[in-house]
Amino acid sequence: MKKLISFTLLWFSLFVSYAQNAVDLTSKESIENWLNTHRFKATVEGDFDMFLEVEHLDNGDALVLSNEHGKRKIFGQLSFEMNQTAPSIIGIGIEESSLEVFISPDGNLLTNGMTFIPEKE
């Protein structure tokens, strides 16, 4: 009986903890708001920081992938995919390259083996 109670309390505390950390990203508007109010940072092995953020350019919004040395790659023509578990954003770069970014329930951005953690702007 003690194991059942302990398991139930543990499960409930994990559920409450997850619910507090999850962000509301269920619509295109909520995703755009989340992206526009945060800058996302990933640290690559060797302390090499990469950043991902949305910039408002003359010809529309774009995902901008940059590093701490100022190099930038711009992906425009953003499209949003609202799949069941992880919504995604797709941006088109030059020479038909593209960047697909998945959004985890806790608001991290996942792409090409990298996890970008939100930083408040």
Domain count, the chain: 1
**How high is the pLDDT of residue 84?**
67
Task: Please check whether residue 32 lies inside any domain of the structure.
Answer: yes
Distances from the Cα of 7 to the Cαs of 3, 49, 76, 88, in angstroms? 6, 40, 48, 34
Task: Please check whether residue 9 lies inside any domain of the structure.
Answer: no
Task: Please check whether residue 59 lies inside any domain of the structure.
Answer: yes
Full pLDDT tens readout for the chain, 121 residues? 544 444 344 444 444 434 446 677 888 888 888 888 999 999 777 667 899 999 988 888 999 999 888 899 999 999 988 876 788 999 999 877 899 999 988 899 998 888 999 986 5
Task: Please check whether residue 42 lies inside any domain of the structure.
Answer: yes
Task: Please check whether residue 14 lies inside any domain of the structure.
Answer: no
**How high is the pLDDT of residue 120?**
67
Task: Please check whether residue 19 lies inside any domain of the structure.
Answer: no
> Which residue segment(s) compose the domain that 99 sits in?
24-120
Task: Please check whether residue 46 lies inside any domain of the structure.
Answer: yes
Pairing of strands 72-81, 48-57: unpaired
Task: Please check whether residue 87 lies inside any domain of the structure.
Answer: yes
**How high is the pLDDT of residue 63?**
92
